[in-house]
Structure 1
């Protein structure tokens, strides 16, 4: 029975690996690039994100910055405003041709002088491209299906790989130690099987959490497990004031009130609704929280700037809190640099597994061709070498 189980595991490991290997390689490699996105983005686009704060000047009101951006790019509407807490960071204003337009033009302004320092189309930014490759291979819904299937296959590949790796009394030491001075074939097998074993728990966790973005039913399972019902739709509340003349200090008032109600350090994002009948959403990411991705939400009247509603993290359901933790688990940002370094190492190893696995298969394929001789007699039997990493 054990032999049959390993044979089945070998076939699954081989053919699922060959079928999904390229996608797994791309997803894992782009995932490694995304681990330190928050740290590298301001370095890659330093002009876009950073300014030199003057010794005594104060920040200009947000409404003045918004006016500068909309005047420079007429016909475009404000969709979001991002304000980092650091004094050397720009204020970024997202503009769209219409509220439902897909692409955003981001305008970075010096908050002390009010001047536009840089602009960019968000879909062309480096990390935006990397993220699209990671999630759906830059192929839209079709790519999302492909990455979802490949991610699911990868879970089976890891479990079947564990079966093939499982040691016995004779090869127990070999299964835990890489023989660095061995031949290329042996070293490649060690890198595939032994590294694969050591990172398996982390890769399995990252891949399984990735399914939450691939399949809505997996996301709902999380909410069923913690709340007993699927995820509720989140939307800004109806705006209490009818459309009238907006306050001239609308955005500055919302920004100041958000900082007053949520006094911790963090990124503030003002999101303007697609419909004027809805309130403005102000979210603040808590940089002082024990784990990352803790965000509170406030809703403000889009005409007066008065507070309409609070949606604080502490008051959220267990399902919503669990969903908030999924992202930092998936990216490795849960506990900051220590977990990010682990995630980077794991992602790079995961990206190497399709490569080393392909080399194992290719080497066995070439060996099979060399050892199979032409059949001279009807009674001659050609051996059928077993394809799988367990025989290396």
Structure 2
């Protein structure tokens, strides 16, 4: 059984090694994407707060972003509550492929900067991580490699498992002072063992974006029924949007949900749809806890609320998929754990290839000696 799993582990590794190397390498950068992006682009995310200054109404910021480039279609607003030094970021689309982020100073109403996300450093890294910069073809390749990696973690654990408990100490310790071959094996086998649960969690959650059937399986197992798309309700009264509308939604949301968090307003795709306002709870014990409110477009009347505490089990699990995958579930501690796991995952194709090449060289040496041994035995037999 171990020989079978060994061959399966080997050939799956050779087939997916390069993709795993790219995905794990980009994953190392993405673990602290938000922190690194804010550090590198401080002027985009942060503003100077004037003394005794009042924040402008949200509508003024929307008008400033719309006037910046009329070719861009505004899609959503991001605003951090209880964070006066943060800019308000407004997302926009240009065609089907281009996504822009426009940072607006909430005190002056001026556009700080607009950037095409696909042309930013982390936009490129994310595209490489998800699609290898090859659109749907790349997405299919990374999805298949993610599934293969799950199988490799399982087969790797079987190969690591000691035959006798007496050698357990050897299988759980890296011999740093040993020769290069032994150290390489330890880094691959022992290092992989220590992070295999974290890597399994990251890989399984990654399958959610790769395969719809896996995503639906979460809801089927948790709720006993397929995923139901949550759409914004239809407006009951048709009324044009007047000045102060978005500021009214912002104020109502913070009054209804008074905790510290990020408010996201989604511009409706259809004229008869209500406006969706989400608020991420920064005070929750885990990341990505979001409550949703739906306001009638024009009147600003609250039509519906969808609070996290009332989510189905399937929806709650699905909400946790992203923070588990990125390591943000419990903040810095789990991010550091995810970073270590990503570094080990990046090393596995390299150390695994070294093990294969060393084993191949050894097998060739044995094969070369075998004919000489046979000839020697034949000569000895003839002499006798």
Closer/same/farther in 2, CA of residues 125 and 239 from structure 1, 3 Å limit:
farther
Alignment of 1:302-341 (within 5 A): 302-341=297-336
Deviations 1:163-209 (A, max 9, x none): 22222346433211111111111111110011111111111121112
CA displacement at 1:330 relative to structure 2? 1.6
Q: In structure 2, what is the Cα distance between the partners aligned to 1:298 and 1:378?
A: 81
Question: Does the 8 Å CA contact 2:68/2:111 hold for their aligned counterparts?
Answer: no
Deviations 1:1-57 (A, max 9, x none): xxxx11101101110001011111211222222212232221121121111111210
Residue number among 238, 243, 247 corresponding to 2:242 in the alignment: 247
Q: Which consecutive residues of structure 1, in runs of 5 or more, have no partner in the other structure? A: 382-392
2:140 is aligned to: 145
Closer/same/farther in 2, CA of residues 330 and 95 from structure 1, 3 Å limit:
closer
2:382 is aligned to: none
Closer/same/farther in 2, CA of residues 347 and 284 from structure 1, 3 Å limit:
same
1:232 is aligned to: 228
Q: Secondary structure at the match of 1:151?
A: helix
Q: In structure 1, what is the Cα distance between the partners aligned to 2:114 and 2:210?
A: 32
CA displacement at 1:277 relative to structure 2? 1.5
The aligned length equals: 374
Q: Secondary structure at the match of 1:172?
A: helix
Alignment of 1:103-142 (within 5 A): 103-142=98-137
Q: In structure 2, what is the Cα distance between the partners aligned to 1:233 and 1:356?
A: 44
**TM-score normalised over the length of structure 1:** 0.91
CA displacement at 1:148 relative to structure 2? 1.5
Residue number among 278, 284, 292 corresponding to 1:289 in the alignment: 284
Query: Does structure 1 residue 92 correspond to structure 2 residue 89?
Result: yes
2:360 is aligned to: 365
1:18 is aligned to: 14
Alignment of 1:1-392 (within 5 A): 5-85=1-81, 86-97=83-94, 101-169=96-164, 171-242=167-238, 244-373=239-368
Question: Does the 8 Å CA contact 1:247/1:305 hold for their aligned counterparts?
Answer: no
CA displacement at 1:376 relative to structure 2? 5.8
Q: Which consecutive residues of structure 2, in runs of 5 or more, have no partner in the other structure? A: 377-384
Closer/same/farther in 2, CA of residues 380 and 210 from structure 1, 3 Å limit:
farther
Q: Alignment RMSD, CA only?
A: 1.9
1:384 is aligned to: none
Q: Secondary structure at the match of 1:309?
A: strand
**TM-score normalised over the length of structure 2:** 0.92
1:388 is aligned to: none
